């Protein structure tokens, strides 16, 4: 039997309702904050990612699914969404209408990492990106929106980790200090970091190899090299977050795995996931729009890891599946014909209706209705047709009513509306 590719997964009915709930919550909240949806392709020119994420990053060096198409063009399954959203902002001149644009997008990303719990080769992200605002208040708003999103989903045990990665001005000073620090330690670094320490020393800070991590524990910190503007920007972010009572910690060792970041960067970490503890990450990327050929517009964004988030929200055990409102148990050909007409009418009126299309006994149809969790069963056999009335059974209370055949659609609609009102009041 042909199986899934390693690191890929199916999201089956039963689980998918939770994903839909999370996605709906994000859409409603993000739209309240003024974000609009953008849909971008899954395949892009490889160069888009190598130029934005950075040639020396783990993602570009080792993790991208890259291949040539039939005409030899190098294309890549997107490992993230930010680069594509920036490309779209530039390509469609969206900045010319108004440089301030706020977008969200939801979909699969692909990275060929070693699969483990919380880490997949196809995984899903909810991204939000803001263009055209340099103010630190927007950084605060992004973290606030993210925390509000997790709070709506009752995600326990989360903390925002915040850092500043400075700007190209303060990076010069920091790079030389880091290069000096690394110069007599290269023999303790992994092969990749030996190269990185010369080409792009900041990337060494992101290395996961234990030997490199040990060397870096005493490395100089970017925080100590921030220029006056970056310091002021960061101070505004942290003081406003405190005023708004957003729980956060300053994490001066937080370096993100992508090269485009400037100034504020953040990660939301959780205690409920084990090693893969980041459920969202993001930050400013003020230089990326210009670097990809667009106008000099600042930007900031984040991505939520949907797979990891879903696994936490699932622990709340809430059931998001939608049960049938009514199951029509019809016996005999004539009843089945009538039942079919009714269920078509119900489904068109927003009532979830099911029937059995086989010629099954009443007992077996009742069993199926029970298994599906139907709220009501409408029973129709030859006897009922003769009497001109079907039997409506409330599956929770077992109460039964007769319903005159010409009134079935209208009466059932009313019953179900009443049922919903009463369960909403109860719950
Ligand atoms: P990232 O930190 O690479 O950032 O990914 C964001 C989130 O995606 C992570 O915190 C994690 O929850 C999830 N994630 C990443 N890789 C995997 C994986 N292999 N399996 C499961 N989940 C994963 C970015 O992608 C940036 N583009 C975020 C951003 C948007 N920055 C600015 N705008």
Is ligand 1 within 6 A of the CB of residue 129? yes
Residue 178 in domain: no
Q: Which residues of 271-290 are buried (b: 16+ CB within 10 A; e: fewer)?
A: eebeebbbbbbbbbbbbbbe
Q: Are residues 295 and 351 in the same domain?
A: no
Q: Does 388 fall in a domain?
A: yes
Residue nearest to atom 12 of ligand 1 (CA): 305
- Does residue 305 fall inside a structural domain? yes
Other Cβ atoms less than 10 A from the Cβ of 80: the count is: 19
pLDDT tens-digit profile, the chain (427 residues): 999 999 999 999 999 999 999 999 999 999 999 999 999 999 999 999 999 999 989 999 999 999 999 999 999 999 999 999 999 999 999 999 999 999 999 999 999 999 999 999 999 999 999 999 999 999 999 999 999 999 999 999 899 999 999 999 998 889 889 999 998 888 899 988 888 888 888 888 888 888 888 888 889 988 889 999 999 999 999 999 999 999 999 998 898 889 999 999 999 999 877 778 899 999 999 999 999 999 999 999 999 999 999 999 998 888 888 899 999 999 999 999 999 999 999 999 889 999 999 889 999 999 999 999 999 999 999 999 999 999 999 999 999 999 999 999 999 998 888 877 776 655 4
**Final residue before a domain boundary, out of 316, 341, 358:** 316
CA 218 to chain centroid, in Å, comes to 35
pTM score, two decimals? 0.93
| 382 assigned to some structural domain | yes
412 and 274 within one domain: no
Ligand 1 pocket member 353 (CB < 6 A): no
Q: If you take atom 31 of ligand 1, which residue's CA is the nearest one?
A: 282
* 201 CB near ligand 1 (under 6 Å): no
CA of 119 to the centre of ligand 1 (A): 10
Q: Do 306 and 353 reside in the same domain of the chain? A: no
Q: Do 312 and 330 belong together in one domain? A: no
Say if ligand 1 is within 6 A of residue 308 CB.
yes
- Classified as helix, coil or strand, 260 is coil
Q: Are residues 157 and 241 in the same domain?
A: yes
Among 282, 298, 316, identify where a domain stops: 316
| Best mutation site among 19, 281, 313 for ligand 1 pocket (most ligand atoms within 8 Å of CB) | 281
The gap from C-alpha 392 to its chain's centroid, in whole angstroms, comes to 42
Q: Is residue 93 part of a domain?
A: yes
Whether residue 302 has its Cβ less than 6 Å from ligand 1:
yes
**Looking at the structure, do residues 139 and 75 belong to the same domain, yes or no?**
yes
pLDDT of residue 427: 41
pLDDT of residue 356: 95
Residues 309, 335 within the same domain: no
Shortest-distance Cα residue to atom 20 of ligand 1: 119
- Per-residue pLDDT, 192: 87
Candidate from 6, 300, 303 with most ligand 1 atoms within 8 A of CB, to mutate: 303
234, 272: one domain: yes
CB-hemisphere CA count at 13 Å for 224? Answer: 8
Ligand 1 nearest-atom number relative to CA 256:
2
Residues 268, 390: one domain?
Answer: no
CATH number for the domain that contains residue 297: 3.30.930.10
The CATH number covering residue 331 comes to 3.40.50.800
Residue 27 falls inside a structural domain: yes
Domain region containing 287? 16-167+227-316
| CB-neighbour burial class of residue 113 (10 A; exposed 0-12, middle 13-18, buried 19+) | middle
If DSSP codes are grouped into helix, strand and coil, which group holds residue 33? coil
Q: Which of 316, 344, 371 is the last residue of a domain?
A: 316
The Cα–Cα gap between 250 and 224 comes to 13
| DSSP symbol at 356 | -
CB under 8 A, 24+ apart: contacts of 410-418: 412/326, 412/342, 412/346, 412/351, 412/376, 412/378, 413/346, 413/349, 413/351, 415/376, 416/325, 416/326, 416/351, 416/375, 416/376
- Total domains, the chain: 2
Dist. CA 148–CA 255, nearest whole Å = 24
Which residue among 80, 160, 287 has the greatest number of ligand 1 atoms within 8 angstroms of its CB, and so is best to mutate?
A: 80
Is residue 161 located within the same domain as residue 92? yes
Q: Do 92 and 241 lie in a common domain?
A: yes
Residue 168 Cα to ligand 1 midpoint, Å, equals: 24
Residue 301: CB within 6 Å of ligand 1?
yes
CB neighbourhood size of 270 (10 A): 20
Q: Is residue 175 part of a domain?
A: no
Residue 193 domain flag: no
For residue 317 the two structure tokens come to 């055990």
C-alpha of residue 281 to centroid of ligand 1, in Å: 6
Residues 263 and 397 in one domain: no
**Structure confidence at residue 289 (pLDDT):** 98
The Cα 322–Cα 305 span in angstroms is 25
């Amino acid at each position: 039997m042909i199986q899934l590719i390693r690191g890929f997964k199916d999201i089956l009915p039963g689980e998918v309702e939770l994903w839909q709930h999370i996605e709906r919550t994000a859409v409603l909240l993000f739209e309240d904050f003024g974000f609009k949806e953008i849909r971008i392709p899954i395949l892009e020119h490889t160069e888009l990612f190598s130029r934005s994420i950075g040639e020396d990053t783990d993602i570009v060096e080792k993790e991208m699914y890259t291949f040539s198409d039939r005409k030899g063009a190098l294309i890549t399954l997107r490992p993230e969404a930010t680069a594509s959203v920036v490309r779209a902002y530039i390509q469609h001149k969206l900045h010319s209408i108004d440089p301030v644009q706020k977008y969200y997008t939801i979909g699969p990303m692909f990275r060929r990492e070693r699969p483990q719990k919380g880490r997949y080769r196809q995984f899903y992200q909810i991204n939000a990106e803001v263009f055209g605002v340099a103010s630190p208040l927007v950084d605060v708003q992004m973290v606030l929106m993210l925390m509000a999103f997790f709070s709506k989903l009752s995600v326990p045990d989360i903390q925002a980790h915040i850092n500043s990665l400075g700007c190209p001005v303060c990076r010069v000073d920091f790079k030389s200090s880091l290069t000096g620090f690394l110069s007599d330690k290269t023999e303790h670094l992994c092969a990749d970091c030996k190269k990185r320490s010369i080409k792009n020393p900041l990337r060494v800070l992101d290395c996961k190899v234990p030997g490199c991590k040990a060397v870096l524990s005493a490395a100089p910190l970017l925080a100590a090299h921030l220029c006056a503007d970056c310091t002021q920007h960061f101070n505004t972010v942290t003081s406003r977050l405190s005023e708004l009572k957003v729980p956060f910690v300053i994490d001066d060792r937080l370096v993100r795995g992508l090269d485009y970041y400037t100034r504020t960067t953040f990660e939301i970490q959780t205690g409920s996931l084990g090693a893969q503890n980041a459920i969202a990450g993001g930050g400013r990327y003020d230089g990326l729009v210009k670097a990809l050929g667009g106008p000099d517009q600042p930007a900031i964004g984040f991505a939520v890891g949907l797979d990891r988030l879903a696994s936490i929200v699932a622990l709340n055990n809430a059931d998001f599946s939608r049960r049938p409102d009514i199951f029509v148990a019809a016996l005999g050909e004539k009843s089945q014909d009538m039942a079919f007409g009714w269920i078509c009418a119900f489904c068109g009126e927003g009532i979830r209706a099911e029937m059995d299309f086989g010629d099954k006994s009443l007992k077996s149809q009742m069993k199926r209705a029970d298994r599906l969790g139907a709220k009501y069963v409408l029973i129709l056999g030859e006897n009922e047709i003769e009497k001109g009335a079907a039997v409506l059974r409330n599956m929770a209370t077992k109460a039964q009513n007769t319903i005159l055949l010409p009134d079935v659609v209208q009466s059932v609609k009313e019953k179900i509306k009443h049922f919903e009102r009463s369960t909403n009041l109860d719950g």
